[in-house]
Amino acid sequence: MNSIPDLPPAERRDWIAGLIGDFCAGPANTLQDTTDERAWSAPLVGFARGDDPLWRQYKEVVDPDHWTPAEIFASTFPGTTFEPADLTVICWILPQTERTKADNRVETTFPAERWARSRIFGEAFNSLLRQHVADTLCVLDCQAVAPHLSPAWSRRDSERYVFSSTWSERHAAYAAGLGTFGLCDGLITPAGKAMRVGSVVARVALPPTPRPYTDHRSYCSFFADGSCGECIGRCPVGAITQAGHDKLKCSAHVSHTAAFVRERYGFEGYGCGLCQTGVPCESGIPVAKWARP
Ligand code: SF4
Ligand code: SF4
């Protein structure tokens, strides 16, 4: 029977990171423009334990129906006997390319074409990557599921948080040591906030990536020392204030971008991300204490 390579745990993590990196280096990572330009720069990869206490806390702070890794694993593989500690959540960050960020930086109302393409075709690649990682591990006798691709995954209205879902990729990445939240709700990672996230829950026990931060907002200058707030001015519809991110205003604007994208760029899409570009946390961690070279 095929199996995941018989390596020490830390090297197994490297093997999985290589699986993700190799797929990102392949032809599927494309903006689907005339030159098949890359949608994403090289990924960051992190790992969280399946029995991390954070997953239970997410039922309080994300949604009562937010899955623990054990819940989505058990419903995907009914009848399987396992312990939460047998599971690892594999997460990745797909950073926007320098060209995409440069294009979006100069926009003030609607997304640049590269940004809109990454939102649609880049996210389609992200889903292929989720499936590729889960399928590859399953073939190697390591049961794995991408929660975001599960037919049971749903997004819903939330009394407390406006919108929530049964699996938040950004919260999974937070658990996997990959970043903390900013004033605009985006996840600030060592590669910045201009990125997208993916994850897979796998039946393999691996050492988790340390969470260097002490708070879920450590990497945002506004929460660190009251400075910055530059994402407030980047939002064309006033959806970000010192009180945080107005998801309804944001969502309404993003929906309105669909007509613009169709008419200007000639494909069905949408996007915004203005608050993710042209700000100090666009491409790295702005708080000196946490910044990485
Ligand atoms: S732009 Fe400034 S205030 Fe806004 S999320 Fe980034 S660091 Fe925080
Ligand atoms: S993504 Fe939302 S919050 Fe950010 S700039 Fe656009 S409308 Fe504003």
User: Residue 39 belongs to what domain range?
Assistant: 9-276
pLDDT of residue 81: 97
Give the C-alpha separation, 199 to 197, whole Å. Answer: 7
Query: Is the residue at 292 inside a domain?
Result: no
State in Å: Cα 234 to ligand 2 middle.
8
Query: Is the residue at 25 inside a domain?
Result: yes
State in Å: Cα 125 to ligand 1 middle.
27
**Ligand 1 atom nearest 286 alpha carbon:** 7
Over the stretch 199-235, which tens digit does the pLDDT of each residue have? 999 999 999 999 999 899 999 999 999 999 999 999 9
**Ligand 2 atom nearest 234 alpha carbon:** 5
Residues contacting ligand 2 via CB (< 6 Å): 184, 234-235, 237, 239-240, 245, 250, 253, 272-275
pLDDT of residue 1: 45
Query: Is the residue at 3 inside a domain?
Result: no
Check: CB of residue 209 under 8 Å from CB of residue 247.
no
Cross-strand bridge partners of residue 245: 240
Residues contacting ligand 1 via CB (< 6 Å): 182-184, 220-222, 228-231, 279-281, 286
Query: Is the residue at 286 inside a domain?
Result: no
Query: Is the residue at 178 inside a domain?
Result: yes
Please tell me the total count of domains within the chain: 1
Query: Is the residue at 263 inside a domain?
Result: yes
Atom 6 of ligand 1, nearest CA residue: 281
Query: Is the residue at 194 inside a domain?
Result: yes
What's the distance, CA 38 to chain centroid? 18
* Residues of the chain falling short of pLDDT 50: 1
Q: Is the pTM of this model over 0.85?
A: yes
pLDDT of residue 72: 98
Pocket probe for ligand 1: among 105, 180, 184, the residue whose CB has the most ligand atoms within 8 Å is 184
Over the stretch 20-39, which tens digit does the pLDDT of each residue have? 999 999 999 999 999 999 99
Amino acid at residue number 198: G
Query: Which one of the ligands is nearest to 240 CA?
Result: 2
Torsion on CA atoms 247, 249, 251, 256, rounded to nearest 10: -170
Atom 8 of ligand 1, nearest CA residue: 220
Query: Is the residue at 282 inside a domain?
Result: no
pLDDT of residue 47: 98
Query: Which one of the ligands is nearest to 192 CA?
Result: 1
Atom 7 of ligand 1, nearest CA residue: 220
Q: Is 80 exposed, middle or buried (0-12, 13-18, 19+ CB in 10 A)?
A: exposed
Tokens 């039946």 appear where? 203
